[in-house]
Amino acid sequence: MKIGQNVEPTSDKVETERALVGIKRPAEEEAYTELFETIYRSIDDLRTTRGRKVMIVLSDGVDFPLKENPHFPVRYGIDSAIEHAQREGISIFTIGLSSRADRSSLSRIAKETGGAYFSVYDPERLESLYSLIRTQVLNEYLVTYPATMDPASQKRVRVEYTRDRRSGEANRVYFSGTIFGFPWVKVNWELLLFAPGALILLWIISLLKFEKKGVAASLNVFTVAGRKRGRQMLALKRSQREFTIGVSSDADITVARSKHAQAAGGEVVIQQKDGAFTIVSRGEPVTVNKREVKKKVLRSGDLIKIEDTEIVFDAGEKQ
């Protein structure tokens, strides 16, 4: 599928159906499958969506990347895609729609993200399969457990479920400790000698004056001029949807081009939507947290580097 046929997260069924109808058999030069990178990018698009998040991956083959694909200048692979889904709490249900589908990878992705893998060779069965996945998600239960701090090397929690003469169970293990979270069976009372020092340190820290965090999101800009390092802060107004960064004087943040830099590779834009901020490079990849990206949802503390300028993103306080 071409990148242009993607649909942003929406409840508009007409728009989604229009995109599905527009899918055509790709030309030979476009017959590649960026399976793992597409999963990673889709997770990045879903991370700001509220509520229970589930992804369904339908594949008739294997991960078959295009060499030097301009849409994916940075590759993350299956391990990073799984870790990304786990961090964001997104379950991935995978469907192998042919005997050529990569059953091993699709099964692993589903198992490690809390989804399920299905092998289906008949497209007519997809409708009932989607209905099954929907029913499974809608019938999920959220179980919370107040962990105790009783001394133990490890504790096991078992959840049993019974309904309509059908039962199931799940087992989990966690560690508990009495001091500093260490899983000790016996309390080491000698560590209590450190308690007065820790209390004094907390009191000293409480006397320090910290910079008050602003309500609005902001960009802390650090520029280098010769051997001097300057700093300025730009508040991101809620009414402004885009903030531009570049060497042009018309940009919201103008950065100085380093002596050895080539011609500017395009504009970098920070877009604001529903309280989330996304950095998008319209040219060469931009460096965020020492990794080159074309698009990324920003979090507090993210470090953006453009030429000799470093920019730290602060999400501010949520209203």
> What does the pLDDT read at residue 275?
79
pLDDT in tens, 71-115: 777 778 899 999 889 888 899 999 998 888 899 999 999 998 888
> What does the pLDDT read at residue 154?
62
> What does the pLDDT read at residue 73?
74
What domains lie within the chain, and their CATH numbers?
32-138 (3.40.50.410), 152-186 (no CATH), 218-314 (2.60.200.20)
Amino acid symbol at 185: V
> What does the pLDDT read at residue 299?
86
Q: CB neighbours of 89 closer than 8 A, spacing ≥ 6?
A: 53
pLDDT of residue 170 exceeding 90: no
User: How much of the chain, in percent, has pLDDT values that exceed 90?
Assistant: 12
For residues 42, 48, 49, 51, the Cα torsion angle rounded to the nearest 10 degrees is 120
Least confident of 42-56, 63-77, 151-165: 151-165
pLDDT in tens, 230-281: 556 777 777 778 888 887 778 888 776 655 444 445 688 998 888 788 999 8
Which segments of the chain are extended strands (E)?
Answer: 53-59, 90-96, 117-119, 152-163, 166-176, 218-225, 228-235, 242-246, 253-254, 268-273, 276-281, 286-288, 291-293, 295-297, 303-306, 309-314
Query: Quick one: average pLDDT of 170-180?
Result: 59
Residue 184 contacts residue 177 (beta carbons within 8 Å): yes
pTM beyond cutoff 0.95:
no
pLDDT in tens, 137-155: 888 877 777 766 565 556 7
User: How much of the chain, in percent, has pLDDT values that exceed 70?
Assistant: 76
Residue 72 contacts residue 298 (beta carbons within 8 Å): no
CA–CA gap between residue 2 and residue 301 (Å, rounded): 33
Local confidence band at 56 (pLDDT 50, 70, 90 cut-offs): very high
Query: Quick one: average pLDDT of 112-125?
Result: 88
> What does the pLDDT read at residue 232?
67
- When the pLDDT of each residue in the chain is averaged and rounded to a whole number, the result is 77
> Residue holding tokens 């002596």?
259
